[in-house]
Amino acid sequence: NAGVTQTPKFQVLKTGQSMTLQCAQDMNHEYMSWYRQDPGMGLRLIHYSVGAGITDQGEVPNGYNVSRSTTEDFPLRLLSAAPSQTSVYFCASSYSGRGLETQYFGPGTRLLVL
Amino acid sequence: GDSVTQMEGPVTLSEEAFLTINCTYTATGYPSLFWYVQYPGEGLQLLLKATKADDKGSNKGFEATYRKETTSFHLEKGSVQVSDSAVYFCALALMFSGGYNKLIFGAGTRLAVHP
């Protein structure tokens, strides 16, 4: 049982490049989400999904796309990277996203956009 | 808007010292409150939680009490160990559309414990 895994751990991009941050969970969780963490700020919700084929925007969705074709995977796409997207990205999952369920977090992806 | 404020770090302590990390919140409604911990190289893990006023969450020697009158949820431990060195995040959960929970995090407080 690997929990929530994220790849890559670290990535450097040039402005305008595109990339996909991968997130996978093996706990059969319906709810998955992406956060970004910036210095001096808490984690902020980018996008979330309540099940395969269902996604919605969080607090800071601009510049990011997501899709959820399977229960296990929830990739985050940057179509045209900008320096403002330099951050640490965390993926999280929980059984349904309701109530007081524990959310399980991946180890994070550190992204630097030059 | 809804927010969480934590004391700035880093907090540096000697082993067996008493720990307090302050956390206050602003929220409409009645949030649930959480402490998450992130050990080096790992993802965030739930440390403890409290769902209503005067509830005390506890785990691994850490405690926090939900104080509605002061809108606070301070984290305490009586005797820290080197293995407690980590980043600690205070968070609140509010319901949003569809009955789902949204977590709002503080900025995190780094704790370093020296032998």
Does the pLDDT at position A40 exceed 90?
Answer: no
Angle at B33 between CA B29 and CA A46, to 5 degrees: 85
- CB-nearest to B105 from A42, A58, A107 is A42
Q: Which residues contact B69 (CB under 8 A, 6 or more apart)?
A: none
Q: What percent of chain A clears pLDDT 70, i.e. is strictly above it?
A: 99
At A1, the pLDDT band (50, 70, 90 cuts) reads low
- CB-nearest to A45 from B43, B51, B102 is B102
- Map tokens 């820290």 to a residue: B80
Q: Do the Cβ atoms of B99 and A98 come within 8 Å?
A: yes
Interface test with A, best of B2, B34, B90, B100 (most A CBs within 10 A): B100
**Residues within 8 A of B (CB atoms), A 29-58 only:** 31, 35, 37, 40-45, 48, 50, 58
Interface test with A, best of B44, B45, B94 (most A CBs within 10 A): B44
Query: Alpha-carbon torsion B37, B113, A38, A6, what sign?
Result: negative
Residues of A in contact with B46 (CB under 8 A): 102-103
DSSP B33-93: EEEEEE-TTS-EEEEEEE-STT-EEEETTEEEE-BTTTTB--EEESS--GGG-EEEEEEEE
A98 → chain B, closest CA residue: B100
A7-16, A105-114, B92-101, B104-113: which has the minimum mean pLDDT?
B92-101
Q: Do the Cβ atoms of A43 and B100 come within 8 Å?
A: no
Residue B11, beta-bridge partner list: B111
- Mean predicted confidence (pLDDT) in B67-71: 95
Q: Does B17 contact A at CB distance below 8 Å?
A: no
Q: What percent of chain B clears pLDDT 90, i.e. is strictly above it?
A: 74
In the predicted model, what is the mean pLDDT of chain A?
93
- CB-nearest to A100 from B44, B51, B89 is B51
How far apart CA B46 and CA B49 sit, in angstroms, is 8
Does the pLDDT at position A92 exceed 90?
Answer: yes
Q: What percent of chain A clears pLDDT 90, i.e. is strictly above it?
A: 83
